[in-house]
Amino acid sequence: MQQDLTDTLATLDKIDRIKEETVQLRQKVAEAPEKMRQATAALTALSDVDNDEETRKILSTLSLRQLETRVAQALDDLQNAQNDLASYNSQLVSLQTQPERVQNAMYNASQQLQQIRSRLDGTDVGETALRPSQKVLMQAQQALLNAEIDQQRKSLEGNTVLQDTLQKQRDYVTANSARLEHQLQLLQEAVNSKRLTLTEKTAQEAVSPDEAARIQANPLVKQELEINQQLSQRLITATENGNQLMQQNIKVKNWLERALQSERNIKEQIAVLKGSLLLSRILYQQQQTLPSADELENMTNRIADLRLEQFEVNQQRDALFQSDAFVNKLEEGHTNEVNSEVHDALLQVVDMRRELLDQLNKQLGNQLMMAINLQINQQQLMSVSKNLKSILTQQIFWVNSNRPMDWDWIKAFPQSLKDEFKSMKITVNWEKAWPAVFIAFLAGLPLLLIAGLIHWRLGWLKAYQQKLASAVGSLRNDSQLNTPKAILIDLIRALPVCLIILAVGLILLTMQLNISELLWSFSKKTGDFLAGVWPVLEGTGEKWRCRASLRHAGAADQPLASANCPHQSRVAAYPFLVCGGRTFPAASDG
């Protein structure tokens, strides 16, 4: 009895919680139109953006520190936008799969309610009488199930409104993310330009120290200035490479976030929408958006090169640690060319070189750090994409992608085919197509000429093939070259149809149709297929005559090949024939 009372109290607590969640759900549905209006207004406001040129002018007036602060703030805002986008996507997936979950939950609750009613009414045969505390517990459970069913109905009623609101909010966050990415790109360009300006200024100071032209004309000073100039160019290149790595890091990080979110969404959708047509459409769309490994750069060699370059720079910098000793070593053997002014100029050049090497070392260190981070993000991205691709491939293979081909499908097929052709929009840019028609015809003309030449000599090829067939098994005329010759002739005889299909596909490819790529791909696949099956298709009409010839040759103890079988060249392509479970050589001397 005490346990019954404890369970009753727990059930009453659940009822209170369900009712509170239902109230929150109603409030959420009531607030949805206002949130949609706000998201729509914010999305409209995003269209009123500043001109890029004006933005660049404003950013050019800021210092490097101010620009770097803005870059950090833009990165934080972009990360927050990505988090919001992930949250909206997760909620949308939950709402899209809610009808199936509500249906299952309401069915289970109805079954439990029926069992409780039967138990309370005492209609179950063989059941003992309920204690008063048990009746109270079951009545509480009955109230809980009714509250859950009511909550499920309310959630289903507000599903469409909440989905519309979330989709509008997601559209705003997506557009805002694109705006932030563009803003970040402009900021990064300004930072890159500012850094490059400072680097070039340092390089100018390194190349042109404040000395007289006579001193700069000194061969020793001139040689060291050229080394400084080379270092300054390396510093500029390193700065540009670092900027490119920064952009790649941002892009790959965004890809990784989207891939992780897609993986979470797919697992939830698969768990709820098992075997449904909706799941197959969702899986197919996700498969089209997977990042390709071709879009990612292999960073292993680049990291190794950066480590080696940084090691060499550190060695050069260590050699300049004692500038006086380094300059004295340079002046050895140049006593006649060195005086106090030249010595001071060399010291200044060496000091500037040390500063260049310090900056170059910092740039290489930053590049190395970004390259390692980029490699880690790329590895994570490819791992997630590989796992996601495996899940999608497996699920797409097993999930029904279309309705079963029953009588209803057959009746609806003509109308579906008509609608499919109606929905196809084939557009032609005639301004580009007409000039390209002549070029397209010239591109396909060689293939058509080759096909025509082969067709013209087709009779000779068949006669030569029959000649090879009659030579098989003959001691005087048979040769090991007959087999490859026969195979080659079969391939050549299959070429005209394949070349015509490829020529048509090539002509359509250059005509600037919106489906030119599709038609060209289709023509290549069709050509490959026909090249393989054409000899088989061509020989189906004569196979029985060929078999009869073989039987006659075997029964009469004659050579297996004869001129009566036009396909003996194909027989000669195999070293043995299997007939009736016995193996015979394909060629014999009779």
CA angle 428, 433, 434 (to 5 degrees): 130
Q: Which residues contact 195 (CB under 8 A, 6 or more apart)?
A: 64, 239, 243
Decide if 469 contacts 572 (C-beta within 8 A). Answer: yes
Decide if 30 contacts 158 (C-beta within 8 A). Answer: no
pLDDT digits (tens, 9 = 90+) for 79-109: 788 778 878 877 887 787 788 778 888 888 8
Number of H helices, E strands in the chain: 19, 2
pLDDT at 291: 64
Decide if 380 contacts 258 (C-beta within 8 A). Answer: no
pLDDT at 334: 67
pLDDT along the chain (590 residues), means of 10: 80 88 88 89 79 83 84 83 80 79 84 83 67 82 88 87 89 87 81 68 52 61 79 79 79 78 75 67 69 69 90 87 76 69 77 83 89 89 83 71 74 82 67 68 82 86 83 74 82 83 80 71 79 62 42 42 42 37 37
pLDDT at 548: 38
Decide if 426 contacts 513 (C-beta within 8 A). Answer: yes
Decide if 281 contacts 366 (C-beta within 8 A). Answer: no
Instruction: State the residue for tokens 């300004």.
Output: 190
User: Residue 69 is encoded by which pair of tokens?
Assistant: 């602060």
pLDDT at 311: 93
Decide if 477 contacts 469 (C-beta within 8 A). Answer: no
- Quick one: what percent of the chain has pLDDT higher than 90? 2
Q: Which residues contact 383 (CB under 8 A, 6 or more apart)?
A: none
Give the integer Cα–Cα distance in Å for 323 and 328.
9
Burial class (CB in 10 A: 0-12, 13-18, 19+), 27: exposed
Which residues lie across from 584 on neighbouring strands?
A: 577
Give the integer Cα–Cα distance in Å for 245 and 363.
12
Q: Give backbone dihedrals phi and psi of 508, rounded to 5 degrees, phi first.
A: -65, -30
Give the integer Cα–Cα distance in Å for 433 and 412.
37
Decide if 586 contacts 560 (C-beta within 8 A). Answer: yes
pLDDT digits (tens, 9 = 90+) for 418-434: 887 777 666 666 666 66
User: Residue 511 is encoded by which pair of tokens?
Assistant: 């005509």
Burial class (CB in 10 A: 0-12, 13-18, 19+), 229: middle
pLDDT at 308: 92
pLDDT at 441: 76
User: Residue 344 is encoded by which pair of tokens?
Assistant: 């001071």
Intra-chain end-to-end CA distance of the chain, in Å: 102
Helix (H) or strand (E) run with residue 199 in it? helix 159-207
Decide if 566 contacts 543 (C-beta within 8 A). Answer: no
For the chain, the C-alpha Rg in angstroms (whole number) is: 40
User: Residue 297 is encoded by which pair of tokens?
Assistant: 């750069």
Instruction: State the residue for tokens 């090539």.
Output: 506
pTM above 0.85, yes or no: no
pLDDT digits (tens, 9 = 90+) for 9-22: 888 888 889 888 88
Which amino acid, one-letter code, is at 24? Q
Decide if 483 contacts 504 (C-beta within 8 A). Answer: no
Give the integer Cα–Cα distance in Å for 577 and 486.
17
User: Residue 477 is encoded by which pair of tokens?
Assistant: 């005329």
Q: How many CB atoms lie within 10 A of CB 441?
A: 14
Q: How many CB atoms lie within 10 A of CB 396?
A: 15
Q: How many CB atoms lie within 10 A of CB 185?
A: 14
Helix (H) or strand (E) run with residue 576 in it? strand 576-579
Give the integer Cα–Cα distance in Å for 205 and 325.
23
Task: From 507, 508, 511, select the one nearest 441 (Cα to Cα).
Answer: 507
